Amino acid sequence: MSRSVVGRIERGHADRVPVHVLVGVAAALGASVRVQLLWHGEGLDRLLDSGHANLTEEMLKRLWSLGWEAATEVSFNIRGERGTIDILAFHPPTGSLLVIEVKTVVPDLQAMLGVLDRKTRLAADIARERGWLVRSVSRLLVLPDDRTARRRVQQHAATFGATLPARTVEVRRWLNTPSGRLAGLLFLTNDHQAGTRHRIAGPRRVGDRGARAPARERAGRA
């Protein structure tokens, strides 16, 4: 690095230096650079964690109301393969096991599908350790019901159609009465998300529509 660049960093003007240069300087010192993006003063990682927790909570409530047993953050270490399953659910009457991946955003698609496939492959062994007698293993991806997630899914419609063909209506029907294997995607609206939308939109005033009508009538008469 040139002396001018290093001097700029030392004088507290790192914001004028490209990030890759900062990373290079830090690496030479045996350090690392961490960049944090804030939204309204809140770290995005915390917001995503909160969104993930809300979606997980809503999904758990639905499963329990339908008679499923469910556990969250189920860790495993089988034949050297390690990981954590967001929600592992079991339906005792039918022996149906469901591996659920909860995402607040549509991630790197191929990586996510590969991880979900691996968890599904190992799920029966994980369930046996819990004493669950499994007859079938299914998989489900849960996403927030918002325009961004739906747009991302639409952009990769062929891939999702081939790997997770079942959609919300079919998924809900299957959760109520599991039969056979399911590979699906569920757009889920949680109570926190709905409340936030309501606060942003604000209450609709009854008089708004009526107040506009006379204006249109006056314009017509003019």
pLDDT (tens digit per residue) in 81-101: 888 999 999 999 999 999 999
When divided into structural domains, the chain yields a total of 2
Amino acid 217: pLDDT: 44
| Model pTM score | 0.68
Q: Is 213 within a domain?
A: no
Give the residue, 2 or 122, on which the prediction is more confident.
122
Residues 21 and 117 occupy one common structural domain: no
pLDDT at 33: 83
Whether 111 shows a pLDDT value over 50: the answer reads yes
What was the pLDDT predicted at 99? 98
Q: Domain of 66: which CATH number? A: 3.40.1350
Per-residue pLDDT at 49:
77
Q: Is residue 204 part of a domain?
A: no
pLDDT digits (tens, 9 = 90+) for 24-74: 888 888 888 877 665 544 455 555 678 889 999 999 999 999 999 999 999
pLDDT at 213: 44
- Is 215 within the bounds of a domain? no
| Same-domain status, 103 and 86 | yes
C-alpha to C-alpha distances, 117 to 99, 110, 174, nearest whole angstrom: 10, 10, 20
How far is the C-alpha of 185 from the C-alpha of 168, rounded, in Å?
Answer: 7
Write out the DSSP string of 48-90: HHHHHHHHHHHHHHHHHHTT-EEEEEEEEEETTEEEEEEEEEE
How large is the average pLDDT for residues 102-113?
A: 84
Does the residue 210 lie in any domain?
no
Those residues whose C-beta lies under 8 Å from the C-beta of residue 207, and which sit 6 or more positions away, are none
pLDDT value at residue 101: 93
Residues 97 and 143 in one domain: yes
Domain extent, residue 64, equals 43-198
Nearest residue to 84 via CA among 93, 75, 92 = 75
State the average pLDDT for the chain. Answer: 83
Query: Are 67 and 174 part of one and the same domain?
Result: yes
Q: 91 and 127 share a domain? A: yes
Which pLDDT value is given to residue 107?
67
On whether both 87 and 18 belong to a single domain, the answer is no
11 and 70 together in one domain: no
Residue 45 dihedral angles phi and psi, to the nearest 5° = -65, -40
- Domain membership of residue 101 (yes or no) is yes
